[in-house]
Amino acid sequence: MMIEIKDVSWDREQKMILRNIDWTVREGEHWCLLGLNGSGKTTLLNMINGYIWPTTGTMSVLGKRFGEFDLRELRKSIGWVSTSLQQKLYGSEKALKIVLSGKFATIGLYDTTDECDVAKAEQLMRSLGCEALIGRTYDTLSQGERQRVLIARALMASPKLLILDEPCTGLDVFAREQLLRMIEAVAGGEDAPTIIYVTHHVEEILPCFGKSLLIKQGEVFAAGDTEKVLTSAMMSDFFGVNVEIERRGGRSWLSVKGDLWK
């Protein structure tokens, strides 16, 4: 079991941000996490990473229950890419160093690295098509380039779990498709980590994401096989708007039917 969340809630300022969440992720599954702004996706991921603790309920990550594991060790087993991470990194640091810091799951590089680590970082950057950025400082990179560097960083510790929180934010359609192709390659690779992919956009859900979790206002709206969850009827119910889902090339494409503003 990679993640087991049972009846978990999280309150802040007298508001229930997550409510009675049940979610199980098994080894070998890749999940997509879908929900509108403010629905609680990032909060749930912060809990999985041990940055916040459930107010009620129980959870275990990578077979360890909360309170039983060393968070520093846990985070080395979880690769994490998010825009909130982008803001924390040091802009003056070279891309290679940022990738290397992934080995220790630290912001900044404090531990010593050897030639093997550098070779691995370079190889990851090559496989993500960003080897030309090795010597560039992070603040000079474009959004798409940063996302590639961050994915390379996340893979540096050969994680068991890879969490991608809206990795395509700010990418143009071509950069998005390129990044999705790379994510697909990671999912199909040997010893691939279990991937959790967070998005607002159903068209980003690659065929490798066989499972989907829909979160609405802090609650699980639906969870299960993507093909059963991503239907026109279910998504219309989920968004509260009449939408149509079309499947093309193993992906789903959403269009809004009728007048949104009525």
Ligand X SMILES: Nc1ncnc2c1ncn2[C@@H]1O[C@H](COP(=O)(O)OP(=O)(O)OP(=O)(O)O)[C@@H](O)[C@H]1O
Q: Which stretch binds Mg ion (CB under 5 A): 35-43, 107-115, 174-182, 210-218?
A: 35-43
Tell whether residue 194 is a contact of ligand X (CB under 6 A).
no
Q: Which CA distances in Å does 165 have to 57, 114, 118, 120?
A: 24, 30, 26, 24
Min separation Cβ 132 and Mg ion, Å: 30
Please give the structure tokens belonging to residue 88. Answer: 């924390």
One-letter amino acid at 162 equals L
Tell whether residue 42 is a contact of ligand X (CB under 6 A).
yes
Helix (H) / strand (E) element for 122: namely helix 115-127
Indicate which single residue of 38, 91, 189, 224 sits in contact with ligand X (rule: CB under 6 A).
38
Tell whether residue 252 is a contact of Mg ion (CB under 5 A).
no
From the list ligand X, Mg ion, none, which binds 38 (C-beta under 5 to 8 Å, kind-based)? ligand X
* Number of neighbours of residue 36 by Cβ within 10 angstroms: 13
Tell whether residue 81 is a contact of ligand X (CB under 6 A).
no
Tell whether residue 13 is a contact of ligand X (CB under 6 A).
yes
Tell whether residue 226 is a contact of Mg ion (CB under 5 A).
no
Are the C-beta atoms of residues 43 and 52 closer than 8 Å to each other?
Answer: yes
Min separation Cβ 33 and ligand X, Å: 9
40 vs 57, which CB is nearer to ligand X? 40
Indicate which single residue of 5, 21, 32, 41 sits in contact with ligand X (rule: CB under 6 A).
41
Task: Please state, in angstroms and rounded to a whole number, the distance separating the CA atoms of residues 240 and 56.
Answer: 29
Tell whether residue 53 is a contact of ligand X (CB under 6 A).
no
Closest by alpha carbon to 102, among 69, 83, 125? 125
Q: Is the dihedral of CA 60, 70, 218, 186 positive or negative?
A: negative
Task: Please state, in angstroms and rounded to a whole number, the distance separating the CA atoms of residues 24 and 145.
Answer: 33
Task: Please state, in angstroms and rounded to a whole number, the distance separating the CA atoms of residues 183 and 174.
Answer: 14
From the list Mg ion, ligand X, none, which binds 17 (C-beta under 5 to 8 Å, kind-based)? ligand X
Min separation Cβ 43 and ligand X, Å: 3
Indicate which single residue of 39, 42, 212, 226 sits in contact with Mg ion (rule: CB under 5 A).
42
Task: Please state, in angstroms and rounded to a whole number, the distance separating the CA atoms of residues 89 and 255.
Answer: 37
Binding residues among 123-182 for ligand X as defined by CB under 6 A:
none
Would you tell me which residues interact with ligand X (CB under 6 A)?
A: 12-13, 17, 35, 37-43
